[in-house]
Structure 1
C-alpha cells in the first residue's frame, strides 16, 4: 500500500510513461533513412529500410556493451558503422544523428500526461529519470521538472540503484521520500523498490504483474495517481 505521508518528491520515467516511444523512434528512423538517401546514397542503398538500419544498431549493441547506457552514442556509432561498411565518409554520422535526434524529440504525449505533470509539478519536486535519450526541454515539458537525469549523462542506467539515489539527491530528499512512477516492471518498479523508494506501476496495456516485488500502487493512467495524491493535500 502507498504511504502518502512519506511522499516529498516524485521521479518519473519518460518513454511509455508520458508518451508511446515507438512512434517517435519509427518516425526518427524514417527521417534518418531519407537523409541517407539524400546525402549518403551508398549507405541508403545498402541499408534500404529502417529495419536494416536498426539491425546495424542491434549488432553494435552486442559488440559494444559499454554503450548500452548511452542510446545517443549507440545510435550515432551505429550510423558511423553503416557509413563505414558502405564505403562513405564516416564524418556524416554527426549530421545524420542530428536529424534522427531532432525527430526523436517529437513525441505525442498521452492525453493524461500534461494535465498530470501540471498538477504534480505544482505540489512536488519532479525529477525525470530515464534510460532513453529524450530531452524534456526539447520535448517541451522541461518547465515541469526540477531536474532531469538520463543514463547517458549519469553513466549508469536503471535498474542500478545509484541513478535512483541521484534522483533523490536532485530533489533534495531521502530515497524513501521519493515516489517513482514508471511503466517498466523491472527497470522502474522493482528497481525503485529495491533502491528504497515507493513505486507506482503505470500499466496502460492491462498487463499482468509477474514479479515477487510488488508496486505500491498500480494505475492505468496518471490521472488516477493525481486523484489519490490529492487525498493527502
Structure 2
C-alpha cells in the first residue's frame, strides 16, 4: 500500500521550456539551437548541463548562473510553468490521505520559487538545499527520511531513468516512470525501463488510480 508519493521536478511537474529559453537568451544563441543540443545529450544519455558546454565550450555553468542572477535574469517559475495536471493530481492525492513531497535536482532558488506557488504538498526540497543530488544513493536516503513511510510504501515519480527510476528502485522504493519531456519520451519503451518500472504513466492523474488500485 502506497503511503507517500514523491515527485521529481523538471519535466515531471514543471516544463523546462522557460529554463532552456532563459539560458539560450543569456548565451545569445537561438533557442532552437540549445533545444536541439539538449536533445542530443539526452540521446547520448549525458547530463543536460552538457548541452550548455556544447553551446559554449569552457563555460563555468555555476559562475554563469550566478552572473544571471546578479543581472536580474535568473531562474523564474510561475503557474504557467506547471503541467496542467499538477494541481488537480496533487490535490486528489492529498484528499486520499497521501503524504506528497516534491524532491528533485534543482537549486535552492528553484525550491523557494516552487514554495511560492503554494502547491498542495507537504514538502518541497531540492538537491541544492541538501547538497546531494540524484542519482546518488544519499539523495534517496534523504527522500526516505522525509517520506515517513517504509521504502515499499513510498512511490517516486520521475521522467529520467538514470536519475529517477533506477536509483529509486535501488534504494528500495517503488517507482513510476512518466512519459513526459525528452527523457520520458525517449526512454519510455526501453526494455530496462519497462522492467524496472512498477508503473508507467502518461499523466499525474493516473497516480490516484495507482493509490486506489
Measured against the shorter chain, the TM-score band is 0.7 to 0.9
How many residue pairs get matched?
184
Instruction: Work out which of the residue numbers 150, 165, 171 in structure 2 matches 1:174.
Output: 150
Instruction: State the structure with more CA Rg.
Output: 1
- The CA deviation at 1:220 is 1.0
The SS at the match of 1:189 is: helix
Q: 1:222 to 1:94 in 2, by over 3 A?
A: closer
Could you tell me which runs of 5 or more consecutive residues in structure 2 were left unpaired when the two chains were aligned.
Answer: 35-50
Could you tell me which runs of 5 or more consecutive residues in structure 1 were left unpaired when the two chains were aligned.
Answer: 34-46, 62-73, 81-91
- When the two structures are superposed, what TM-score results if normalisation uses the length of structure 1? 0.67
- Indicate if the aligned counterparts of 2:5 and 2:154 stay in contact, CA closer than 8 A: yes
CA-atom RMSD in angstroms:
2.9
5 Å matches for 1:1-233? 5=1, 7-21=2-16, 23-29=17-23, 33=26, 48-49=28-29, 54-55=52-53, 59-60=58-59, 74-75=61-62, 77-78=63-64, 94-96=69-71, 98-101=72-75, 103=76, 105-106=77-78, 107-122=80-95, 123-133=97-107, 135-136=110-111, 138-139=113-114, 140-204=116-180, 205=185, 207-211=188-192, 214-231=196-213
Distance 2:56 2:128 in 1: 17
- When the two structures are superposed, what TM-score results if normalisation uses the length of structure 2? 0.72
Distance 2:117 2:148 in 1: 21
